[in-house]
Structure 1
């Protein structure tokens, strides 16, 4: 289970630009990305008052999902493309630990940092990984495929939806959204360790 690719975009373009590494900021998201913030940054929700908390700080999708549709990392706006993880089967509250490839499999997790999230734009904050102080993302829910996907490629949106015989949506396949519990640098090739939530399994819903 590993990081296959990474991407970010400072502007609200649909696709993101592939990069070799990203910096995650605790309680905010991906440094330099348009969705960085304590409150939701998606344009379709900016009108909501009071603004809801940002549960979409980091978008993750499986390489296998992209491959099945002839897509490449960054095409549909994800930040992290994973390999070897069934993201859609994870429960809400699952923690994803981003570790160097050489980290021992049984290495204990270091204590969490206790500093509070920074400003919404994150400009006054630069929490990066030092030594074993690795980044942790908490899975919050599913991405709900939006009409923009069809503007990228006609008919693509439906490929991310599973419907029953009455055309009701029963599954969404466009990856998961998470929040940053511990900041740090994430690089292509890093190993991902999955930590199940303490309170038992809770199925993912849309966020």
Structure 2
């Protein structure tokens, strides 16, 4: 399990620029990223209530999704769908809420929930929203656009750093959109 790409953007752009390392700030998010802060920074949520806690400080996506989208004909790459951390070998969507994700030797993230795919995906490429939504065997909606987390321990993460997980004790709480 490892970090394959890192991205940030100081504006509220849909896609983020890739970089070799990121500085994670405890309780805030990623230095220089538009979503960094104690309170919510996503524009639609700020409009609803700017005092909400920021449960979406860091966006993680599994690289396997990017590969799947490319095979389906979408022009996507690292940072394209707005993620900060692109992982390899981690089944992000199956993690329970409150899982601790260690990136490298310093940074610890706490999983808060699922990213809810939005119309910005289709604004980027037609059909992309539908491509990151699915149904499980019981017909329940599956959101595949990654997970959200908050920074519990800050530090520097570099491309290629290892990833380790600490699953919370049972009973596990399934991820919901945040």
Give the shorter-chain TM-score range. over 0.9
Check if 1:205 corresponds to 2:176.
yes
> Conserved in 1, the CA contact under 8 Å of 2:132 and 2:144?
yes
1:155-194 correspondence to structure 2 within 5 Å:
155-163=127-135, 170-194=141-165
Correspondence for 1:90: 95
Flag as ranges the 4+ runs of structure 1 deviating above 3 A.
none
Distance across 1 between alignment mates of 2:129 and 2:160: 29
Task: Deviation per CA, 1:33-61: give whole Å up to 9, x if none.
Answer: 00001011001111233621000000000
Asked if structure 2 preserves the Cα contact closer than 8 Å seen for 1:161 and 1:169, the reply is: no
CA distance in 2, matches of 1:40, 1:158: 26
Q: Which runs of 5+ in 2 are unaligned?
A: 71-75
SS in 2 for 1:151: helix
Deviation string for 1:52-100 (max 9, x for gaps)?
1000000000000011112211001000000000000000000011125
Equivalent residue number for residue 10 of structure 2: 10
TM-score, length of structure 1 as denominator length: 0.80
Unpaired runs of 5+ residues, structure 1, are 101-133
Q: Tell me the equivalent position of 2:112.
A: 140
Paired with 2:50 and 2:23, the residues of 1 have a C-alpha distance of: 28
| Count of aligned pairs between the two proteins | 172
- CA-based RMSD: 1.5
- Distance between the aligned counterparts of 1:50 and 1:82, measured in 2? 30
Task: Report the secondary structure of 1:97's partner residue.
Answer: strand
CA distance in 2, matches of 1:31, 1:202: 29
Do residues 151 (structure 1) and 123 (structure 2) align? yes
Max Rg structure = 1
Compare the two structures and name the one with the higher helix fraction: 2
Give the Cα–Cα distance (whole angstroms) in 1 for the partners of residues 5 and 53 of structure 2. 27
* Residue 73 (structure 2) aligns with: none
> Aligned partners of 1:148, 1:59: CA distance in 2, in Å?
15
